[in-house]
């Protein structure tokens, strides 16, 4: 161990800065201690007491004064010499700490105090904290997009009541997508701006509707998410009604599409009352409504006070009605061609082994699972589901399919602690592998959902599993009929064509919409039933 002092005459540096220099030097390998000080008499005494200054024999040190700077270093000879030789560089160096970006605010009130121009809070915190953050956002004057699920009905009602009092909109809870002007929020697809305004619970239903509108050349003005319970009688459609008011006043919107599961009884009446007053044409898409319910309370199209109200039972019908109402062409592709479907289904059915008789739908999109059940029910076919429509059977164990089953893999129990199947394919891949081993499976119905926040390659994540299941079926002397649709646009990062082509190359039957895919499956299942009867 050696001790050395380096003196810089007539050099002043702030004492705190010098402490910082000393600490950096002392941290170098081979060094035991370092001090950097102005050489006041008191400081020299301290250093001398620590053994510096060679017992007074070091003349430079002994004569240094309060305007001189002293660097005192203790450690292994080579290390000390290296620092001493480079003393000025050590004294010139800044703190060396990486420049830190401005700190992000920790709470909503703090954020809004710093950025009063904020208008919309996008909240995706865990459910138990979601209502609190939403309330803080409302209190700070922000509209709320609430992606979080597991928010209680009581909390939802309290939030929406408070929001309405403040003239603010709550989109959600469990709201996956919204479009505001040019901005697609959450799991939104790259759709063209246009004249159709959407109000919907805002899962994949809104995405599918918007993508189909885009595909046929039209566009979206806004898409307002409401959460899946908004039109229940418990909530009374607070967000839907506020959305209607805003879209009615919005100059860009020429037609309003309302997508919903069947509303509560009291809310149905209020909704109709409101739609009749609407100054713009409305397409009401009531997914899963019982046949007959959607005709009430009058024939479709209904003449409202100002505009027209069309009623649809599927997203495709809603898109067709909207395009027709706006005088836009192109929607013919969405009308199922019964004869073509029958031929295609007959071909697929003909390749199946006798024991292959069931359909398994594995869904990333909850609304698409719901719509598929509605389409099956309309055809008189029953399936089991973990999220059954009225009239459908509850799947006793959601992890195991039974007979004909449609599984919503985005349901709460599947995504607790795991990424949603729209983001990560692993959950659905495992389930697909499981279905592939079941010799009774004839048809696999899948949905693929593109968009900025979805998986970078939704099809790629399942492709190997699809091929594996197909090969397994071939080995057993049959074929697996894999049916899919891709919800997205060419402008989505994954690219609609890329994803579709990859599926088609794997022998998957890809339909332009999920309703068409489901309609095809209905045809296959009907033919299988007939086959059974023939046998």
For residues 435-454, which are near other proteins according to CB under 8 A?
A: 452-453
Task: Decide if residue 100 touches other proteins (CB under 8 A).
Answer: yes
Of 104, 397, 416, 533, the residue at the interface with other proteins (CB under 8 A) is 104
Interface pick for other proteins out of 38, 73, 112, 258 (rule CB under 8 A)? 112
Q: Are 383 and 392 in contact (CB under 8 A)?
A: yes
For other proteins, the closer of residues 70 and 409 by Cβ is: 70
Using the contact rule CB under 8 A, the part of the chain among 56-64, 137-145, 331-339, 502-510 near other proteins is 137-145
Cα gap 131→151, rounded to integer Å? 7
Sole window of 109-117, 379-387, 433-441, 519-527 interacting with other proteins (rule: CB under 8 A): 109-117
Nearer to other proteins (CB atom), residue 143 or residue 280: 143
Integer Cα distance of 66 and 108 in angstroms:
51
Tell me which of 55, 78, 92, 119 binds other proteins, using CB under 8 A: 119
Q: For residues 168 and 135, is the Cβ–Cβ distance under 8 A?
A: no
Give yes or no for residue 418 binding other proteins (CB under 8 A): no
Q: Is 158 in the site for other proteins (CB under 8 A)?
A: no
The C-alpha atoms of residue 29 and residue 80 are separated, in whole angstroms, by: 10
| Nearer Cβ to other proteins (178/480) | 178
Judge whether 514 and 371 are in contact, CB under 8 Å. Answer: yes
Phi, psi of 18 (to 5 degrees): -65, -35
Among 129, 418, 476, 501, binds other proteins (CB under 8 A): 129
Query: Smaller CB distance to other proteins: residue 94 or 327?
Result: 94
**Distance (Å, whole) CA 309 – CA 316:** 16
Closest among 339, 163, 338 to 240, alpha carbons compared: 163
Q: Is 324 in the site for other proteins (CB under 8 A)?
A: no
According to DSSP H, which parts of 326-425 are helical?
338-350, 366-378, 412-415
Site for other proteins in 467-486 (CB under 8 A): none
- Burial annotation 290-303 (CB, 10 A radius, 16+ → b, else e): eeeebeeeeeebbe
The radius of gyration computed from the CA coordinates of the chain, to the nearest angstrom, equals 34
Residues near 514 by Cβ (< 8 Å), separated by ≥ 6? Answer: 208, 315, 365, 368, 371, 372, 447, 485, 487
Q: Which is nearer to other proteins, 90 or 147 (CB)?
A: 147
Q: How far is the CB of 109 from other proteins (least distance, A)?
A: 8
DSSP letter assigned to residue 313: S
Q: Which of 72, 191, 389, 449 binds other proteins (CB under 8 A)?
A: 72
Selected range binding other proteins among 125-133, 309-317, 344-352, 410-418, rule: CB under 8 A:
125-133
> Could you tell me if 491 and 190 are in contact, meaning their C-beta atoms sit under 8 angstroms apart?
yes
99 binds other proteins (CB under 8 A): yes
* 39 is an interface residue for other proteins by CB under 8 A: no
Q: Which is nearer to other proteins, 246 or 328 (CB)?
A: 246
Contact region for other proteins (CB under 8 A) — 14-22, 313-321, 374-382, 435-443? 14-22
Residue 316 burial class via C-beta count within 10 angstroms: exposed 0-12, middle 13-18, buried 19 and up: buried
Question: Is residue 22 a contact point for other proteins (CB under 8 A)?
Answer: yes
Q: Which of residues 199-258 bind other proteins (CB under 8 A)?
A: 221-222, 242-243, 245-247, 249-252
Give the shortest CB-216-to-other proteins separation in angstroms.
23
| 8 Å CB contact between 267 and 238 | no
Tell me whether residue 132 or residue 335 sits nearer to other proteins (CB atom). 132
């Amino acid at each position: 161990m050696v001790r050395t002092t380096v003196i810089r005459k007539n050099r002043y540096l702030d004492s705190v800065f010098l402490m910082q220099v000393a600490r950096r030097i002392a941290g170098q390998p081979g060094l035991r201690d370092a001090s950097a000080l102005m050489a006041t008499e008191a400081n020299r005494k301290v250093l001398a007491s620590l053994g510096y200054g060679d017992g007074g024999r070091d003349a430079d040190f002994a004569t240094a004064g309060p305007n001189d700077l002293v660097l005192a270093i203790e450690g292994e000879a080579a290390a000390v010499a290296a620092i001493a030789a480079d003393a000025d560089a050590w004294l010139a160096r800044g703190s060396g700490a990486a420049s830190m970006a401005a700190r992000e605010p920790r709470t909503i009130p703090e954020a809004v105090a710093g950025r009063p121009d904020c208008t919309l809070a996008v909240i995706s915190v865990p459910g138990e904290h979601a209502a609190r953050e939403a309330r803080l956002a409302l209190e700070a004057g922000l509209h709320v997009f609430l992606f979080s699920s597991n928010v209680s009905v009581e909390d939802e009602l309290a939030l929406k009541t408070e929001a309405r009092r403040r003239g603010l909109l709550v989109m959600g809870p469990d709201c996956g997508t919204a479009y505001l002007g040019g901005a697609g929020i959450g799991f939104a697809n790259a759709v063209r701006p246009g004249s159709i305004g959407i109000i919907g619970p805002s899962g994949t239903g809104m995405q599918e509707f918007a993508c189909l509108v885009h595909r046929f050349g039209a566009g979206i003005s806004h898409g307002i998410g409401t959460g899946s319970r908004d039109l229940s009688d418990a909530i009374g459609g607070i967000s839907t009604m506020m959305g209607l008011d805003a879209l009615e006043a919005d100059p860009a919107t020429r037609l309003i599409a309302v997508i919903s599961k069947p509303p509560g009884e009291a809310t149905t009446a209020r909704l109709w009352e409101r739609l009749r007053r609407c100054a713009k044409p409305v397409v009401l898409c009531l997914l899963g409504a019982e046949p007959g319910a959607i005709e009430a309370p009058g024939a479709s199209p209904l003449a409202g006070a100002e505009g027209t109200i069309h009623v649809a039972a599927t997203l495709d019908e809603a898109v067709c009605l909207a395009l027709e109402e706006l005088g836009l062409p192109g929607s013919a592709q969405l009308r199922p061609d019964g004869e073509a479907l029958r031929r295609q289904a007959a071909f697929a059915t003909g390749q199946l082994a006798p024991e292959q008789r069931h359909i398994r739908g594995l869904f990333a999109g909850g609304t698409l699972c719901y719509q598929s059940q509605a389409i099956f029910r309309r055809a008189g076919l029953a399936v089991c589901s973990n999220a059954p429509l009225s009239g459908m059977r509850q799947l006793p164990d959601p992890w195991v399919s039974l007979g004909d089953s449609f599984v919503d893999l985005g349901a709460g129990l599947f995504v607790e602690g795991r990424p949603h199947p729209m983001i990560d394919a692993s959950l659905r891949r495992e389930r697909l592998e499981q279905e592939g081993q079941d010799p009774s499976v004839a048809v696999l119905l899948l949905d693929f959902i593109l968009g900025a926040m979805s998986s970078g390659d939704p099809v790629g994540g399942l492709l190997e599993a699809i091929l594996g299941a197909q090969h397994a079926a071939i080995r057993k002397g049959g074929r697996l009929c894999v049916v899919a649709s891709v919800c997205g646009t060419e402008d989505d990062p994954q690219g609609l064509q890329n994803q579709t082509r990859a599926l088609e190359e794997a022998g998957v039957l890809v339909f332009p919409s999920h309703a068409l895919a489901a309609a095809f499956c209905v045809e296959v299942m009907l033919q299988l039933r007939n086959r059974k009867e023939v046998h």
